[in-house]
């Protein structure tokens, strides 16, 4: 996924992207996104949706919904609102909803996940899949999700987070030069999303393949 302001157009999302850069980047990627990025990360989407489906409450916000790859996995009783900065990605998600007849998807809106404008406590659950490492300010994203999810609700992320030590640390350092082709940041630190105060209450679950991705769940 490219960085729009970089004339070399690298292929991986960077945490420093601003909103216009995100829109420009995903305008270029929308038509091939599913083909290039849909495969290996499918485990993570299915795992996150499975977890959402088990949680109490029906009002679900998916931030950075993209082309809507996860939308078919939600249970029929969940009422889904998807938001994304990229109208091009949203167009694909809308086409998927129509083609697959996903009547539980209530809204697909062009909104910034860091500043949604939704009323406080509007949702029971918020989920972000492979978006935490793309938004300009991951902690602002988390703060916004804490605001729009009701107290007692849940916030979930699935993402690749860099190992802090051990063999995976070495592997990720070795993989970093290939990150453009891989489509994610091997070195996105979990601390960039969770402040120390959050970290104690986050439940982390490794997701296949090889525990490459992590499902993070917080009780709001």
Residues engaged in binding ligand SAM (CB under 6 A)? 1, 13, 22, 26, 45, 63-66, 69-70, 83-86, 89, 112-114, 129-131, 134-135
Q: Which residue has the tokens 């292929």?
A: 11
Sequence-distant (6+) residues with CB within 8 A of 216 are 156, 157, 158, 159, 161, 190, 193, 194, 202, 203, 204
Q: How far apart are CA 173 and CA 152, in angstroms?
A: 38
Rg of the chain in Å (alpha carbons)? 16
- State the angle between helix axes of 19-29 and 87-100 in degrees (0 to 180), rounded to the nearest 10: 50
Using the minimum distance from each CB to ligand SAM, give the nearer residue, 47 or 79: 47
Using the minimum distance from each CB to ligand SAM, give the nearer residue, 53 or 169: 53
Q: Please, what is the minimum distance in Å from the beta carbon of residue 170 to ligand SAM?
A: 25
Q: Please, what is the minimum distance in Å from the beta carbon of residue 165 to ligand SAM?
A: 26
Q: Please, what is the minimum distance in Å from the beta carbon of residue 75 to ligand SAM?
A: 18
Q: Are 108 and 68 in contact (CB under 8 A)?
A: yes
Using the minimum distance from each CB to ligand SAM, give the nearer residue, 169 or 176: 176
Number of residue whose CB is nearest ligand SAM? 66
Residue 190 corresponds to which tokens in the numbers above?
């979990």
Q: Please, what is the minimum distance in Å from the beta carbon of residue 142 to ligand SAM?
A: 12
Using the minimum distance from each CB to ligand SAM, give the nearer residue, 201 or 206: 206
Q: Please, what is the minimum distance in Å from the beta carbon of residue 67 to ligand SAM?
A: 6
Using the minimum distance from each CB to ligand SAM, give the nearer residue, 63 or 190: 63
Using the minimum distance from each CB to ligand SAM, give the nearer residue, 27 or 169: 27
Q: Please, what is the minimum distance in Å from the beta carbon of residue 166 to ligand SAM?
A: 26
Q: What is the DSSP string of 92-156?
A: HHHHHHHHHT-TTEEEEEE-BTTB--PPTT-EEEEEEES-TTTSS-HHHHHHHHHHHEEEEEEEE
Q: How far apart are CA 179 and CA 181, in angstroms?
A: 5
């Amino acid at each position: 996924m490219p960085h729009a302001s970089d004339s070399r157009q690298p292929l991986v999302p960077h945490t420093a992207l601003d909103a216009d850069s995100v829109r420009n980047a995903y305008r270029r990627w929308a038509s091939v996104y599913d083909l290039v990025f849909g495969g290996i990360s499918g485990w993570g989407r299915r795992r996150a949706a499975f977890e959402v489906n088990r949680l109490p409450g029906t009002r679900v916000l998916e931030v950075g919904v993209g082309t809507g790859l996860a939308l078919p996995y939600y249970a029929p009783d969940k009422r889904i609102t998807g938001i994304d900065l990229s109208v091009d990605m949203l167009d694909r998600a809308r086409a998927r909803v129509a083609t697959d007849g996903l009547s539980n998807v209530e809204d697909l809106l062009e909104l910034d996940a860091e500043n949604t404008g939704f009323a406080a406590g509007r949702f029971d659950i918020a989920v972000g899949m492979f978006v935490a490492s793309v938004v300009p300010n991951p902690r602002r994203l988390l703060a916004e999700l804490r605001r729009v999810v009701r107290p007692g609700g849940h916030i979930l992320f699935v993402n690749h987070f860099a190992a802090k030590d051990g063999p995976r640390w070495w592997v990720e350092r070795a993989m970093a030069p290939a990150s453009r082709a891989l489509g994610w940041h091997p070195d996105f630190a979990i601390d960039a999303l969770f402040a120390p105060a959050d970290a104690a209450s986050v439940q982390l679950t490794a997701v296949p393949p090889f525990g490459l991705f992590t499902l993070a769940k917080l009780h709001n």
